[in-house]
Amino acid sequence: MRTVGVEEELLLVDPETGEPRALSAAVLARAAQDDAEGEVFEKELHNQMLEFATRPQARMADLGAEIVRCRGEAARHAGEIGCAVAALATSPLPVSPKVGMGRRYRWMAEQYGIATQEQLVLGCHVHVSVESDDEAVAVLDRIRPWLSTLAALSANSPFWQGKDTSYSSYRSRVWQRWPSAGPTEAFGSAERYHRTVADMVATGVLLDDGMIYFDARLSSRYPTVEIRVADVCLHADTALLVAALARGLVETAAREWREGRPPLEHGVSLLRLAAWRAARSGLEDELLHPVTMRRMPADAVVRALLDHVGEALEDAGDLDRVRATVSDLLGRGNGARVQRQLLERTGSLREVVAECVRLTQGEPHGRRTGHSSSTRA
């Protein structure tokens, strides 16, 4: 059974106003006092962000428990220094991002200018174990067309600087400003993948291979494929769904490779259009079908993904759980829909953030936690 790990980036916010707070250093210092959690949380590019990484798990039930536990610990540590965490892929309220200290972040700010300043966006990265670099690159080549569907399922960033962007995942559009971000061509071999990465770093445009921001890449730290297209998901069960589907995609691709089935030959130009369509529509309209690259209703494309990975999901014991979660998600809507519905109901982006703080921790919709702002924004 392939193991899966999840990295989530959470937004630190003021519990009263909903505005992002640049307190990651204080939260990390608090977490470091707890030896059991010291290696779970990490700093990120901006001081309003907090990242955690689960341990790799073979059973999705265990991974789901890890995600919930890590979110709860993040909320506890943040609360101890007077802020809260929200699984929002962009801040609904206006914000002035604060780039973190350190040589790496200073280099990025100098090299990329305003693009670095604006990258207060929060994602969910899924690591799926692989047996070798050869298998990993074969997987990368075969999962490329399906990644936009994962992006649509996870879309959770409709607002930017206090305005509705008309996108479901505006995070992904901001992320594309990095020079190495986005879909890739098929590599064909591990040797070509590593040569491409080395050539990109050798240009001097990137600091190192940690700045290879492909939609999916070989991890430089673990024997995994790292899938990086998802917004951080508002609900923990959506994050678990993305992880289960990611493992299904990796296993399905590996089987196709072993059977000698070639990858689909879609070029980067089409993949970029599919990614844009997913970011714009989410689950609300049409997506590009990963096989035909023609428009179809979003729910039909999601069903095509389930059919594609169904055998792998069933073999892993995940099929029933995934089907049920997909059904719930299509009915409830992804994070982008939930945020817009909250704004329509309350008329306040501050209330949107307050409710998303509660949903991040799995609390029932509408439950109060002792602090809320009734001020409209």
- Calculate ∠ Cα 261-262-266, nearest 5°: 140
150: in domain: yes
Query: Taking all residues of the chain, what is their mean pLDDT, rounded to a whole number?
Result: 94
Model confidence, pTM? 0.94
pLDDT at 369 over 80: no
374, part of any domain: no
Is 137 within a domain?
yes
Q: Provide, rounded to the nearest whole percent, the portion of the chain with pLDDT above 90.
A: 88
pLDDT tens-place string over residues 154-188: 999 999 999 999 999 999 999 999 999 999 999 99
Closest CA to 142 of 180, 188, 176: 188
Q: Could you tell me the residue range of the domain that residue 161 belongs to? A: 4-360
Inside any domain, residue 370: no
Asked whether residue 372 is assigned to any structural domain, the reply reads no
Report if residue 322 sits inside a domain.
yes
Phi-psi region of 188 (alpha: psi -120 to 50; beta: other; left: phi over 0): left
Residue 377 falls inside a structural domain: no
Q: How confident is the model at residue 368 (pLDDT cuts 50, 70, 90)?
A: very low
- Mean pLDDT across the stretch 226-250? 98
Q: What is the distance between the alpha carbons of residues 26 and 222, in angstroms, rounded to a whole number?
A: 28
Total domains in the chain come to 1
Q: At what angle do helices 60-80 and 236-258 cross, to 10 degrees?
A: 140
Average of per-residue pLDDT across 69-92? 96
**Parallel, antiparallel, or unpaired: how do β-strands 224-231 and 216-218 relate?**
antiparallel
**In a 3-state reduction of DSSP, which class is residue 305?**
helix
Asked if the structure places residue 232 within a domain, the reply is: yes
Return the minimum-mean-pLDDT range out of 32-36, 235-239, 284-288, 312-316: 32-36
CATH number at residue 319: 3.30.590.20
